[in-house]
Each structure stands twice: as structure tokens, then as C-alpha cells.
Chain A
Amino acid sequence: MALDKEFNEIPGTIVFDAEQSRKGYWLNQFCMSLMKAENRARFKANERAYLDEWKMTEEQKQAVLDRDLNRMMALGGNIYFLSKIGATDGKSFQQMAGSMTGMSEHDYRDMMVKGGRRIDGNRRIGEDGDAQRPQKDPAKGR
């Protein structure tokens, strides 16, 4: 039974369900491999060659090379897995999350200190909140 379609109607949000999980299986498993120091070293030495060892799509590999987290999410990545790439790059969770909003690191941190992003206008696609753009990646649900 599929999830309630309302899960796909939240702006700026990709819900990690069975479909995304299937699509992103090897992308996420590649991320898991970065939990080992020797794999991090091999990845850093030659990212392309390391990625070619995995059954990922070309789009997924390119998104990793570009460190485009929103794209990786659309292609089936899950943030807890993708965070291993950030850890490999020496990035904190706040830097990673902030990078997906289009805000500068400073502005994102500042927004959090002031109480975070507001919910008003950000509950449903089509409202007028600040999380409505950029629109969902068309790759989702393809």
C-alpha cells in the first residue's frame, strides 16, 4: 500500500519511502561504505574511480561529484546516509542542511538562532512560505 499522497505535498521536502529507497539503494550503500577510514581515503584519492565500483546511475554519480545534496535526495538518497559524504568532507550537519536551502552558512545559522524557519506558509505546496522554492525536483516520481 502506497503512502498517503499528502506526503508528497509538503514543500521543499522529499519523504524517504520504499520507492525512494529502491531508487537510491546503491547511492545510500555507497555512502555507508564511507564509514570506514580506508574507503574514505580511496574515495578522496579518486572519487570517480571509487564511484564506478558501485551500481549507481550516472546521474547519481554526477550528483555526488557535484556535492548536490538536493539532487542526491531526489535520486533516492536519504539524509542520514548522505551525511557520510559530508563527514568525509569535514562538514557538520548544520552546514549540510543549510547548503540545501540556498542560504549562506551564516544566514542559515542566524535563522536557527532566531528560532528557525517558520511553519506558516510551509505546510503545503502552493502556500506562500520561504521553503516553496526551488520547486520539487522533477526526477522525483519519475
Chain B
Amino acid sequence: MARITASVYTSHIPAVGAAFDLGRTKEDYWKPVFAGYDFDKQWMKTHKPDVIFLVYNDHATAFSLQMIPTFAIMTGPEFNPADEGYGARPVPKVIGDPELASYIASAVIQQDFDLTMVNEIDVDHGLTVPLSCVFGEVKEWPAKIIPFAVNVVQHPVPSGARCLALGRAIGKAIMSYPEDINVHIWGTGGMSHQLQGPRAGLINKEWDNAFLDRLIDDPKGLSQMPNIDYVREAGSEGIELVMWLIARGAMSDVVAGGPKPKVAHRFYHVPASNTAVGHLILENAG
């Protein structure tokens, strides 16, 4: 049977992708940001996933206002990095897992979450920047990737409670897949940032760190926090953090009860461009 062994959480800041692509990772400004991901390189050697279920959001790249799916699972075989107006990022193309993705889609829809299925889509920085941070410069991504997009652009966006419950349904689906594979689930976006209006530049360190604490220890309690709190406390774009609860919901303590996951790595840094960088790796107990 398939196992979910870990969940990974990280910001997905476009400027971090640009710094990476332009070879600026050793500059004083960027060094402390990328240092937060040094741990991952070694950890990945001993915890290598076969498949990554990667939760992100599209930033008016593939989804315009023409279509706004709340939850979309990518069931196609491959996905190219998108041109977001500055040229496509020079990173490997993303290889999907159509079999597992359709299996998850069927299983999750039958648990009453009405997913949109997408077979062709270009993936933006929300998906590719986390991969660059965690894996560094590689010729191909070392795992198959199932992209999963959440609408966090037009309100109302899904609640934390809905995201945690969805994660639980995804976790159940993956654990019932009859192949012996190692799966990671990633939640991306955030942490506190606001990109618009006179309040642009907002950072809320205390709130971000309390979010990390509660994500680790009390995901159910955290999932009850209303969306207005994310927007008010973590900025209009900080609402992306609800996506982290999808990954957290797929961990075994939430899916089946049992011990809390082990914190393998925790990192927080301000700033990268307009944003607070947060990164967490949780290993499933047992």
C-alpha cells in the first residue's frame, strides 16, 4: 500500500525563484533565505519520495477570471513551467502521475469533495519555486508530482476547516492506493504578506510563528480560525496559508488518530521581497 511519510510546508515567493534562476543565492540578501533549505538536501537523500502531492495556487497564470475552480487536481502526464510575463523559469518540466492522480480524484469525489480535474495546464511559481528551494538545481525533479490548485485569489476562498477535511480525504485516498510507494504531501504559500494598497509590506512575525506552532500541535483547533483572521493578521495574500492545512490534514494523526508527527525541520525568515518565509518538514510517526 502507498504510504504518506512526510509533509513539507514552504512559502513560494516569485522573487526567490528569480534569485535562484539568476544565480544570486549567495548574495547577502538571499543567502539567509536559501540557507533555510540546506537541511532539505540531506534529508531528501534518506526520505526520497516517489510522488509529491503538491498543493499550491495559480496566480492569474493558467486560471484567469474565465474559470475559477476552488479545488483542481492535475491528472495529466506532464506540465510545463509557465511564462508569467518574465519568460518561463528555466527549470525541469513537471512529470505527473495520471494513475495515482485519477485514483485520488475518484476517491476524494466519493468522499463528497467535488474536485475539478485538469489534464493540461502550465504551472506557475506557486509550484516551481518550492521545488527549486527544496531540491536545488537539478536536471529533472527527483519525483513524480501531482499538482493540486486551490483558489485563494477570489473570496470566498475555502475555510481552514474545509482544507483540513479535504487533506484528510486525500490522505485516506492515498493510503488506500494498492502500490508500495512513498508519498509526500506539500502545502505552499504565505507566510504573512500583503502585495496591495497602503498596507502593502505587512509582516506579522508573532502571528506566523503561532501559526507554525498550532499547525504542528493543534491542526484541528487552527482549522477553526476564520478566513478574516488570516487576511487581517497575515495580510491580504497571507490567506494562502489555508493551503497548509490540506497537507497537514493528510498526516496520520489527523487521518487515523495517533501520535503527532515529528518536526524534522523548522525555519522562519523575514524578508524575501515583500514576504515572510516559512518552512517546515513534518515526518509521520511510526
User: Which of B93-101, B107-115, B129-137, B198-206 lies at the interface with chain A?
Assistant: B198-206
Give 1 or 0 for each of A41-70: 1 = CB within 8 Å of chain B CB.
Answer: 000000000000000000000000000011
A124→B232 CA distance, assembly (Å) = 8
CA distance A102 to B199 in the complex (A): 10
Assess the B196–A21 pair: CB atoms within 8 A.
Answer: no
Give the residue of B65, B155, B232, B271 whose beta carbon is less than 8 angstroms from that of A116: B271
The count of residues in chain B whose C-beta lies closer than 8 Å to any C-beta of chain A is 43
**Are A115 and B85 in touch, CB under 8 angstroms?**
no
Within the complex, which residue of B85, B154, B196, B228 is in contact with A6, where a contact is CB–CB below 8 Å? Answer: B228
Q: Is the CB of A31 closer than 8 A to any CB of chain B?
A: yes
Q: Establish whether residues A113 and B85, one from each chain, have CB atoms under 8 Å apart when the complex forms.
A: no
Count of residues in A whose CB is under 8 Å from the partner chain: 57
Q: How many inter-chain residue pairs (CB < 8 Å) link A and B?
A: 159
Secondary structure of the B contact surface, majority rule: loop
Say whether B199 contacts A122, CB under 8 Å. Answer: yes
List, in ascending order, chain B residues with CB within 8 A of A108's CB. 200-201
Contact A16 B200 (CB under 8 A): no
Q: Are B196 and A117 in contact (CB under 8 A)?
A: no
Given contacts A15-B236, A28-B60, A81-B60, contact A92 B196 (CB under 8 A): no
Interface residues of B (CB under 8 A from A): 14-15, 29, 59-61, 64-66, 83-86, 153-156, 192, 194-205, 207, 226, 228, 231-233, 236-237, 270-271, 273-274, 276
Jot down 6 A-B pairs with beta carbons below 8 A, ordered by A. A3-B156, A6-B228, A16-B154, A92-B15, A108-B200, A118-B203
Besides A35-B83, A119-B202, A131-B202, 16 more A-B contacts (Cβ < 8 Å) are A10-B199, A10-B236, A15-B236, A18-B154, A28-B60, A29-B66, A69-B196, A78-B153, A93-B15, A101-B201, A108-B200, A112-B273, A116-B201, A117-B201, A119-B204, A123-B233
